[in-house]
Structure 1
């Protein structure tokens, strides 16, 4: 999917898209209604085997709290995206994208959905990304507190209507984005996610 630069696009609830970015482009992800999560998976356009890595990111950034100034790294130790502005400051990079199995495990009394995993798999397939290659996503706006004893929980996002995160592409990328499908991640409701791509700023 080639995105029209400078125009805000909408990801409908419980769906996903692929966005092409050139090095230097800016991707802004908006929470238009508040309390909605977007799973992000970045893939190098030149080689789909180079993909975003939470482990490399935590290692090189030396923190699990990623916000303005942080970089998101690939499995080959290359920076892929830099967070340049962030009005929320609470995101998750620990939990895997929700999937059919997630719904069967956590929501046995609810209808099964293919989740963000299925939406990412469909969106990224044309770029050579196989389902088994989809890693832990950078879960924009997701609120996963980690307690002192090591336990964690999924809480409603703290993002408010109009909150956003702006990222700069550090290489040519394809980015999979979703409007998350899991009940707990979004405080029990399903809402859209908006995004916009702005071209690299001119040097002159």
Structure 2
């Protein structure tokens, strides 16, 4: 693997998010500094926001729901958006949507205000002209979703240990949003930060 140098580091506080531009060929490293913390990733083509990261296309072409090192994450137009260069954890989710205010009402029965990945993505992507309804299923880094033979889903603690990361190379100029997930079940009932590095 080629050596890369870091252009930018961002620390995403617990239950928050960020958004940024990522140029083709740049590498996004998503790090779990404390362990057992999920991070939702969403990306849009910078010069055409109708082209967006697609769970369905990616799973279809990879023929697995568990993408890892060497897999390509595709757009809704079947163009490569990211290539996974290195994956120290090996278990991520691309089935479930980012947690939203409704998630906490419907799944958790919680009607109090609650931070969510969806709203963190909405708020951080808004300055780039991305409307809420444009945000589809996110790539849920470090999220551990197990599928039983009957199709039932179990969300287990993330397998990520402190300091482990995944590296994705941008295959086009992108606008990306990244969160530190706010759903109790996804993070073994403890909220922690996420670190990202943009590398070249």
TM-score > 0.5 by shorter chain: yes
CA drift of 1:40 comes to: 0.3
CA drift of 1:106 comes to: 2.0
CA drift of 1:59 comes to: 1.2
Q: What are the Cα deviations for residues 91-116 of structure 1, in whole angstroms up to 9, with x where unaligned?
A: 00000000100011122257431400
**Structure 2 alignment gaps of length 5 or more:** 1-5
Report if the CA contact (8 A) 1:104-1:112 is conserved.
no
Instruction: Map 1:30-49; keep pairs closer than 5 Å.
Output: 30-49=31-50
**Secondary structure in 2 matching 1:160:** coil
Instruction: Map 1:30-179; keep pairs closer than 5 Å.
Output: 30-109=31-110, 111-179=112-180
Q: What are the Cα deviations for residues 24-57 of structure 1, in whole angstroms up to 9, with x where unaligned?
A: 0000000000000000001100111110010010
CA drift of 1:127 comes to: 1.6
Deviation larger for 145-154 or 82-91: 145-154
CA drift of 1:7 comes to: 3.6
Deviation larger for 37-46 or 58-67: 58-67
Q: TM-score, normalised by structure 2?
A: 0.94
**Structure 1 alignment gaps of length 5 or more:** 200-204
Partner of 1:202: none
Report if the CA contact (8 A) 1:40-1:140 is conserved.
yes
Q: What are the Cα deviations for residues 130-175 of structure 1, in whole angstroms up to 9, with x where unaligned?
A: 1111000000000000111111111111110001000000000011
Report if the CA contact (8 A) 2:70-2:84 is conserved.
yes
Counterparts of 2:102 and 2:110, CA distance in 1 = 13
Counterparts of 2:113 and 2:19, CA distance in 1 = 23
Report if the CA contact (8 A) 2:27-2:199 is conserved.
yes
CA drift of 1:60 comes to: 1.4
Superposed CA RMSD in Å reads 1.1
Partner of 1:192: 193
Normalized per residue, which structure has more strand? 2
Distance 1:109 1:48, change over 3 A: closer
Aligned residues: 195
